[in-house]
Amino acid sequence: MELSPTERTRLRRLREQGRSDRAALFAVLGAGFVCHLGVVLDGAPMVVPTVYGFDDDFLYFHGSVASRSLAGGQTVCVTVTHVDGLVLARSVFEHGVNYRSAMVYGLPRALDGDDKLAGLRVLSEHAAPGQWDYARRPSRKELAATSIFALSLDEASVKIAEGPPGDGDGPDAALGLWAGVVPIESVRRPPEPDPALPGDITAPAHITALAT
Amino acid sequence: MELSPTERTRLRRLREQGRSDRAALFAVLGAGFVCHLGVVLDGAPMVVPTVYGFDDDFLYFHGSVASRSLAGGQTVCVTVTHVDGLVLARSVFEHGVNYRSAMVYGLPRALDGDDKLAGLRVLSEHAAPGQWDYARRPSRKELAATSIFALSLDEASVKIAEGPPGDGDGPDAALGLWAGVVPIESVRRPPEPDPALPGDITAPAHITALAT
């Protein structure tokens, strides 16, 4: 008996689940620091990678690349995706990807003054905890040349696909083919010093801690 | 002497370069299989992760998640990004990310019949070479339930940021702070068999070859 597309869809849904809890959202946002920012520019979509950070209520992102389209005040979509595995099933149709992805929609607010400094700090501490107190902080001029936006986390969704392929208990299991997952992982290697760095300056603990 | 923002911008530009050669485009597209697809839906941008493949002229992507907005025939933006490192400079301002990113703009064409099968094959062989001949190919019904789009590679751009932080020869070098890069790498682990798989079915060579 061949499964109907509807039944297949059901199986795939078990692998791929929407999550609405905040903990899932924070877990996905916490696992990376580069998002894809979608804006509309001259009627067409534009998707640019940019760095982000977040707190309980807002996602903060670097907006210089999209500043022209963000200036007008428009809804954006920020998507953060982690690819966790390549799912190899018995049939091409059941192949897929294990992933965790969060989408946040909203009208971003351009930050100024102390708010901008605070947003930049969240962003910096998210990507490299400890650097805010270690590195030289932005001058007034540098801060003016930086665009930081805050996006409410109110309208957010999370989708997670995980586990083995969904056709292990279907008719294709009888084909005798190998099926499973090739796990994919993002790994941070030990810090590599700037060649311009004098040899007596060693990486402080908060930097060596950044390696996986 | 403090560098002016313009000079800083120049330094940053040396780290971050646009590339217009096809070889650079193919190298970025070849290094992954999940892209971020940007569409406009009800006037707002939507950015969704999806799988892709490519040949000399087209990028092929799975379009089921965005089928509603793609049905009308609209320009999309497909962005592929690889995060290669976290750049830790002497100043917060000079912090950044090493990355390779490709953006492709165009009006995608929904594929049908043999074209759809050929597009799906490109996509499948890109993510998992050898699976097209190994796994069960799509039935007519499965193919009908699959949306594959072809997007011309004519309008594409590549941006690459690499190397150490740009402030190694600036006034901040005198601060005596550590600076460098935390390399980030996407690693494929050895294949994990589906728990439903009988023990006597071992992974064929084209699958074990998928691990990094």
Do you know the residue count of chain A?
A: 212
Report H helices in chain A.
5-15, 22-30, 67-70, 113-127, 131-134, 140-144, 205-208
pLDDT single digits (tens) B69-122: 787 789 999 999 999 999 999 999 999 999 999 999 999 999 999 999 999 999
Contact B142 A91 (CB under 8 A): yes
pLDDT of A192 higher than 90: yes
Query: Is A198 a residue whose pLDDT tops 50?
Result: yes
Which of A37, A76, A185 is the closest to B189 by Cβ?
A: A185
Residue A20: name the closest of A162, A157, A154, A160 by CA: A157
Predicted local confidence at residue A211, as pLDDT: 93
Residues of B in contact with A67 (CB under 8 A): none
> How many CB pairs below 8 Å do chains A and B form together?
303
- Continuous H helices in A112-165: 113-127, 131-134, 140-144
Average pLDDT over residues A75-89: 97
CATH superfamily name and code, B5-187: Electron Transport, Fmn-binding Protein; Chain A (2.30.110.10)
pLDDT at A31: 97
Residues 6+ apart with CB under 8 A from B110: B63, B70, B71, B147, B148, B149
The domain spans of chain A are 5-184
Q: Does domain A5-184 have CATH number 2.30.110.10?
A: yes
Which residues of chain A lie closer than 8 angstroms to B175, CB-CB? 136
Helix (H, G, I), strand (E, B) or coil at B145: coil
Residue B1 has pLDDT above 50, yes or no: no
Return the pLDDT at B199: 87
Interface test with A, best of B100, B131, B194 (most A CBs within 10 A): B194
CA distance A66 to chain B (A): 13
